[in-house]
Amino acid sequence: MGQMHAEAVDRITHDGRTIGRDFQAGLTVALVAIPQCMAFATIAGLTPAAGLYTAVVMGLVGAAVSATPKLNIGPAVTTSTMVFAILAVAAKNPEHRAATAGVLAILVGLFTFVGGILKIGQFAKFVSRSVLIGLTAGAAILIFGSQLPPFFGVASTHEPTLIWILLDTLTRMGGMNLSAVIMAAATLTLILLGNRVLPRFPMPFVVLLFGGVVVWLFERAGIDLGLQTIGSVPRKLPPGLSSFDGVVFGTDLVVGAGAIAIVGIIQTLAIAKSFATRDHRKIDSRRELLALGLANVATGCLHGFPGAGSFARSGLNDMAGARTRMSGIIAAITVAAIVLAGAPLAERITKPAIAGLLMATAWSLVEWKAFLQIVRRERRDRVVLGIMILCVFVLPIHWAIVIGLSVSIAIFLRRVSRLHLFEMVASTGHAFSEHRVDQQTGSSAITMLQIEGPLFFAHAEDMADTLRTVFQRRPRVTILRMRRTHQIDYSVVSALTRVAQAYIRDGGTLIICGLTEKMRATVLVSDLGKTIRPRFLLQTTREVFGSAHEAIRIAEEIARTEPSPARSLFRENGPATGNRPRRSVATAD
């Protein structure tokens, strides 16, 4: 009885600590979310109130459905930047932008639902790192450009592309306000320094609050700084279902929704995966997409705009000690409470201060170390990165992302379509070195070839042509090692059968080793299995290098019976090869 009482007390204490940590984390996230989400709404070309509505609605729905305790779903800098570009071309009339943003959010939610049903989450891992870095770098550049007008205190522009934003801002520089520059620069500097020195402190909230107090003090002193404020924030929650009058459905709206859905899925799953990996959990991608889709549909119906998982707020939620999904619910409720109780105070926040906050956010958004590494070392990724950034200058960002993804996929398919086939050349001891197939490949009595990667129909003809050339040099035995190949297409089996039949008719022996159980079963029931003796189709074993050693043993027995054994059994590594080793490996499976 006493033990049961002690366990109950421990559980209550543990639950109490968890609730306390969640409450602290939720409050901290809310303090940062208010100015940040208002700023993201400004990026999207909407009223700050729309950012608050989106934060509350998406925060509640996302936290209730998501399986990741620390994930915060709501306005995000990437999606907000894309919303701005889409509204600039899909809603020419400013009066229809709020309704168009709502429809956009609903479309994004529906696309996300479809993605969840089709299990598209499992394909997010194939999006290259360069696309993600290019996405954040492009968004950061566009944020900097779009915030230049309020930074300098001139009229804002609603151009969809960076080049026109810069040109339009340049024509307005005659009306620059020095007070706006000082306010924006001070906000930018204080936030960047504060985040570095006090990373756990809600510096954005404090800096914006301090800026509002400064404006209020100058007003009390009768001094007009000429700074534009964000305007009145209504002291009410979303009024109900949105009216979608004036919304024009077109290519930009649909394509833009698809692009936002893709980016939102990638970004949200990336955050969820990072937490799941660190917490030693499995990610439920379908549930995360369900949460994201529901959150977007809900906010679209209630005067909001599309959002996704937030890198900044999710990280802050974790850093502040969140333990369960309750922290997200507390954050959303706290935002709503502060809006209802302190809306008049928000009217003192100036647009230059918001511009400084967004520029600081943009700077912190880019992973500069990874960016520089791609620029310096990764040639293929550098192409994708450069194309995405270039497109941001001349195209709306949603088209830039579609183009970047297309280029990345094209490069990936080009790399996958290449046949990775090497000759294994004997080195010192019992090791072999990988060499490119050249004019000497096939000249020895035993030729050992290695294929790496999955074999698809795109490889069939290249592999058949390469093997046909090698077989024409009449090696007595050819070992084809497939230990690093776990998938073989029917087209490849068919092409290999044709060249194997001709080689065997001419007196050669083909041994295939390193086959998985599934691959060997596939080959045995094919024409290739009827062409090659079953004892020459060697399956992988638990013994290290087992099937490769067995293949070499069989090949040596056959080669030594050759009528004219003048040739060496294996091609040996040395000056005569005219080819430097690619890498040294053991006679391996």
pLDDT in tens, 229-262: 766 665 665 666 667 777 778 888 999 999 899 8
In this predicted structure, which of 170-179, 254-263, 375-384 has the lowest mean pLDDT?
375-384
Collapsing DSSP states into helix, strand and coil, what is residue 304?
coil
Start-to-end C-alpha separation, the chain: 60
Please give the helix or strand (H or E) that residue 510 lies within, else none. Answer: strand 509-515
In this predicted structure, which of 68-77, 306-315, 430-439, 473-482 has the lowest mean pLDDT?
430-439
**What residues contact residue 84 under an 8 Å CB cut-off, 6+ apart?**
43, 44, 45, 142, 146, 160
pLDDT in tens, 403-419: 877 887 787 777 777 78
Contact status, residue 351 vs residue 228, Cβ threshold 8 Å: yes
Strands 420-426 and 308-309: unpaired
Please give the helix or strand (H or E) that residue 18 lies within, else none. Answer: helix 2-43
Contact status, residue 306 vs residue 84, Cβ threshold 8 Å: no
Q: What is the dihedral of CA 264, 266, 270, 271, to 10 degrees?
A: 0
In this predicted structure, which of 106-115, 231-240, 546-555 has the lowest mean pLDDT?
231-240
Where is mean pLDDT largest: 262-271, 290-299, 472-481, 574-583?
290-299
Which residues pair with residue 334 across a beta bridge?
Answer: none
Residue 72, pLDDT above cutoff 80: yes
In this predicted structure, which of 33-47, 225-239, 280-294, 456-470 has the lowest mean pLDDT?
225-239
Where is mean pLDDT largest: 63-72, 271-280, 476-485?
63-72
pTM exceeds 0.75 for this model: no
Residue 141, pLDDT above cutoff 80: yes
Q: What is the dihedral of CA 568, 573, 576, 580, to 10 degrees?
A: 150
Q: What is the mean pLDDT of residues 209-223?
A: 85
Share of the chain above pLDDT 90, in %: 20
The predicted pLDDT at position 186 comes to 92
Could you tell me how far CA 478 lies from the centroid of its own chain? 43
Neighbours of 163 (CB within 10 A): 13
**Fold topology of 420-586:** Transcription Regulator spoIIAA (3.30.750)
Give dist(CA 151, CA 441) in Å, integer. 66
Q: What is the mean pLDDT of residues 278-288?
A: 81
Contact status, residue 134 vs residue 335, Cβ threshold 8 Å: no
Better-predicted residue by pLDDT, 430 or 104: 104
Neighbours of 559 (CB within 10 A): 20
Give dist(CA 74, CA 76) in Å, integer. 6
Phi-psi region of 321 (alpha: psi -120 to 50; beta: other; left: phi over 0): left
Residue 581, pLDDT above cutoff 50: no
Q: What is the mean pLDDT of residues 78-102?
A: 86
Contact status, residue 208 vs residue 64, Cβ threshold 8 Å: no
**What residues contact residue 443 under an 8 Å CB cut-off, 6+ apart?**
473, 475, 567, 571
Q: What is the dihedral of CA 395, 400, 403, 408, to 10 degrees?
A: 150
The predicted pLDDT at position 209 comes to 79
Better-predicted residue by pLDDT, 370 or 45: 45
Contact status, residue 115 vs residue 369, Cβ threshold 8 Å: no
Extents of the domains making up the chain: 20-367, 420-586
Residue 44, pLDDT above cutoff 50: yes
Please report which residue ranges of 172-284 form alpha helices under DSSP H.
178-197, 203-220, 251-278
Q: Burial code of 246-270, b = ≥16 C-beta within 10 A, e = fewer?
A: ebeeeebbebbbbbbbbbbbbbbbb
Where is mean pLDDT largest: 120-124, 498-502, 539-543?
498-502
Q: What is the mean pLDDT of residues 357-366?
A: 78
The predicted pLDDT at position 393 comes to 83
What band does 576 get if pLDDT is binned at 50, 70 and 90?
Answer: very low
Residue 346, pLDDT above cutoff 70: no
Q: What is the mean pLDDT of residues 128-150?
A: 78
The predicted pLDDT at position 587 comes to 45
Residue 575, pLDDT above cutoff 50: no
Q: What is the mean pLDDT of residues 72-79?
A: 89
Mutual orientation of helices 129-146 and 162-171 as an angle, nearest 10°? Answer: 20
Q: What is the mean pLDDT of residues 281-301?
A: 91
The predicted pLDDT at position 477 comes to 92
DSSP state of 320: T
DSSP state of 222: T
Closest C-alpha to 59, from 339, 336, 340, 342 = 336
The predicted pLDDT at position 562 comes to 66
The token pair that represents 187 in the structure block:
């906000």
The predicted pLDDT at position 125 comes to 59
